[in-house]
Amino acid sequence: MNRNPSVAVVGATGAVGVELIKTLGKRNFPVSKLALLASARSVGRKLKFRNQEIAVDELTKDSFKGIDIALFSAGGGISKEFAPLAAKAGCVVIDNSSAFRMDDSVPLVIPEINAADARLHKGIIANPNCTTAITLVALFPLHEAFSVERIFAASYQAVSGTGAKAIQELERQIGQIVSGRPVTKEVYPHQIAFNVLPQVDSFLPDGYTKEEMKMQNEGRKIMHHPAFRASVTCVRVPVYRAHSVAVSAEFKQPVSVDAARAVLSKAPGLDVVDDLEKKEYPMPLYTAEKYNCQVGRIRKDCALDNGLCFWVSGDQLLKGAALNAVQIAEELLK
């Protein structure tokens, strides 16, 4: 890999694309040239990278000549069509969609957990689901110490996980409610303002949603733990940014709160925020735009053997997407 790679961001004008550009700049990623790619309707729009304005070009099958790393964040359909073409052109693709995550030939990587898997790529590396990534940053160090068997979890997912239109919908609905006007909805099946929706993604025949099953399926692959089980309820909440997850985990080995806290306080990418006297615990308001996730409310689970409860919060546009992708790119340069 070139020490100063040329980089393309696919889906550059979307919520994650914008964060990818910011993150490359903030982390001083050694980009020799940055290409911004999107659909025809975004062509000519200018986005700022470091101190320059870069015009957006149209994504075509010939966009990847001379590109070393392509960061994809334009949805599964675009990834399925263009990622193999990019890989064929000699480019390493880091894909944010769900298109390749469960493909056996594609590594699924959270650098704090399984960085070495990134080197096994055949041209494409997958970024995990945002809720999975935020949860595993806290769960994996505990698994290494105490061997997790299963978790029960509920997520509290911000609207920005759905995209820019969902943020606008929440803002619009709050305005409509405050001024006594009828509420209009386009993005979600129900009003999201002052409400919570126990549905993220589409339903499967067994009654779980696709999003809920990602925790178990992706968790098994990332942690190299084929017996891991996760029963999850994913909930959309009227929060702009940063997802939170309430987790009850059951381990093979006995686990004490002190031992768990000692493990979590050393874990990379994670801050322990857990001072009950000062009412300090992780909240999306304070994890938004932060690289690290936060964990707190650490306590013995009173309904499980060898059980531990914790609450983790993290920016799903960063650790759940853009930051994780850039960290993978950093691994490739090592």
CATH code reported for the domain at 132-316: 3.30.360.10
CATH class of the 6-128+321-333 domain in this structure: alpha beta
Q: Token match 């990818």: residue?
A: 20
User: Which of 96, 82, 105, 91 lies closest to 127, judged by CA?
Assistant: 96
Question: What's the confidence (pLDDT) of residue 49?
Answer: 97
pLDDT at 163: 87
| pLDDT at residue 1, rounded to an integer | 83
pLDDT tens digits, residue range 49-71? 999 999 999 999 999 999 999 99
**The pLDDT of residue 164:** 85
Give which of 286, 204, 209 is closest to 240, Cα–Cα.
286
Q: Which of 90, 26, 53, 316 is nearest to 36 (CA)?
A: 53
The per-residue pLDDT for 251 is: 98
List where CATH 3.40.50.720 sits in the chain.
6-128+321-333
Provide CB contacts within 8 A for 223, sequence distance 6+. Answer: 113, 114, 136, 140, 143
List the alpha helices (DSSP H) in the chain. 15-26, 76-88, 111-114, 130-146, 164-178, 210-223, 257-266, 284-287, 323-333
What pTM does this model have? 0.96
Q: Are 217 and 104 in contact (CB under 8 A)?
A: no
Task: Return the active site residues.
Answer: 130, 243
Residues of each domain in the chain carrying CATH 3.30.360.10? 132-316
Please give the full DSSP string across 129-143, using - where no structure is assigned. Answer: PHHHHHHHHHHHHHH
Give the model's pLDDT for residue 2.
Answer: 86
Residues of the chain short of pLDDT 70, as ranges, are: none
List strands edge to edge, sheet with 148-157.
229-236, 148-157, 243-251, 307-314, 293-300, 270-272
Rounded distance between C-alpha atoms, residue 258 and residue 265, angstroms: 10
